[in-house]
Structure 1
């Protein structure tokens, strides 16, 4: 489990833990290792939103904190999927989209997807600044746990269209494996009680991943590395906004 944790930190964050073949193999065979990283990243990323800073400042610092902690690899998945999503027509649109996924150049679809992602995170940071510190912390942690649980579910349930990162993460898990990741993520739903904000963030983020997974199966032919990264980013930003809305309405 130590190797799996080290592999998870090396893959999902910029933590200087060092990665090797043993850690990577342990991580990819242990989908549950995604989830604890969500608690850690969420707690650290929440630092700007719990400090007594102006909302505009938090709106800038919050996305920067996420980039500092996790890097840009998953955002690259958003860009690639955004480019692929705007491909239409042709005799084999799935094959055409998969070719675009492998293209390293950034197109209009990817640019728009990245712009919307950054705008969503900036807006979430500003909204979180208006919550009580403990409520904001609960939402950020639950959203990050939700994003990592979504990735674990993709590893457990998804199928890869070809060899690559997606295949390495999906071809060693069984459909019964989701139980442990789900159990590890459940405590995040109870953060910030009596407010339902954390529960809303956790559930909404997972639902976002599941919907995106079905879209990827239909339009991309399965789950590859870009889908994993895009799912993480989409689930996080949707969960953050859902948590803020739930707190506001409660």
Structure 2
């Protein structure tokens, strides 16, 4: 598992963990490694929310910390999928758009809306106080990574590339350890936040499976860009789901 987690952190973050063929192969065969990486990313990104600064500044710090840790690869995947979603034509035509390094209107709109939605979700979480907001951010990141794990195990691989190198390398049964690893993100919750954390944990996988269905129908299978989109959208959905549940219950 430690080797798989090292591969996951090398794939999902910019942390200097080092990687090699053994780590990459172990990661592809171990969906639970996605989830463990989610704890690392979420924990680091949530640190600014503990700072004694105005809420808006803390949320800005959360966004900066998040993308310093993860880099822009997954956000670029979301932008590419936005361009592909805005295009007409067959799956092969959309895949050509994914290879284009230029960002079109669809990609710019998808990325812009996603960043605004993430910031607003962060503001909503911060309004619940530092203890709850940190747990919500952590649960949202674990949820997004659990969604990627589900997509890797249950999705249909697309054209040859990063997505096809990860999708289908593990069976659906391999998701059981991933679920077990994700459960602690909803345990030992501050008073009254249990339903919020549970809602956050469920949202990421649901969004990832929807992205997988769209990618299969529109791109011919799950690509590396679809993975990135699932991660970014899953995080946003999980954060908002948690905030909504916190507000209502």
Give me the TM-score of the superposition, normalised by structure 1. Answer: 0.94
1:166 maps to what in 2? 163
1:178 maps to what in 2? 175
Corresponding position: 1:130 with 2:127: yes
Moved more, 167-176 or 69-78: 167-176
* Aligned partner of 1:99 among 96, 101, 115: 96
- Aligned counterparts of 1:217 and 1:192: Cα–Cα separation in 2: 40
Deviations 1:140-197 (A, max 9, x none): 1110000000111111111112211111101321222211111111221233353211
- Aligned counterparts of 1:7 and 1:43: Cα–Cα separation in 2: 18
- Root mean square deviation of aligned Cα: 1.3
- Aligned counterparts of 1:192 and 1:36: Cα–Cα separation in 2: 21
1:192 maps to what in 2? 190
2:12 maps to what in 1? 12
1:241 maps to what in 2? 240
Deviations 1:56-92 (A, max 9, x none): 212321111100111111001001000000012x4xx
Contact kept, 8 Å, 2:63 with 2:119, in 1: the verdict is: yes
Corresponding position: 1:52 with 2:49: no
SS at match of 2:208: helix
- Aligned counterparts of 2:152 and 2:214: Cα–Cα separation in 1: 16
Moved more, 22-31 or 148-157: 22-31
- Alpha-carbon deviation of 1:51? 2.4
Map 1:25-104 to 2 at 5 A: 25-88=25-88, 90=89, 93-104=90-101
- Aligned counterparts of 2:191 and 2:202: Cα–Cα separation in 1: 15
- Alpha-carbon deviation of 1:124? 2.0
- Aligned counterparts of 1:227 and 1:193: Cα–Cα separation in 2: 36
- Alpha-carbon deviation of 1:50? 2.6
* Aligned partner of 1:120 among 114, 117, 121: 117
Gapped runs of 5+ residues in structure 1? none
Contact kept, 8 Å, 2:41 with 2:69, in 1: the verdict is: yes
- Pairs aligned (count): 247
SS at match of 1:61: helix
Contact kept, 8 Å, 1:142 with 1:202, in 2: the verdict is: yes
Contact kept, 8 Å, 2:148 with 2:205, in 1: the verdict is: no
- Aligned counterparts of 1:144 and 1:227: Cα–Cα separation in 2: 17
- Alpha-carbon deviation of 1:125? 2.3
Deviations 1:195-240 (A, max 9, x none): 2111111111221111221111111111010011110000001111
Contact kept, 8 Å, 1:54 with 1:129, in 2: the verdict is: no
Deviations 1:40-59 (A, max 9, x none): 11111111123232122123
2:206 maps to what in 1? 207
- Aligned counterparts of 1:205 and 1:172: Cα–Cα separation in 2: 21
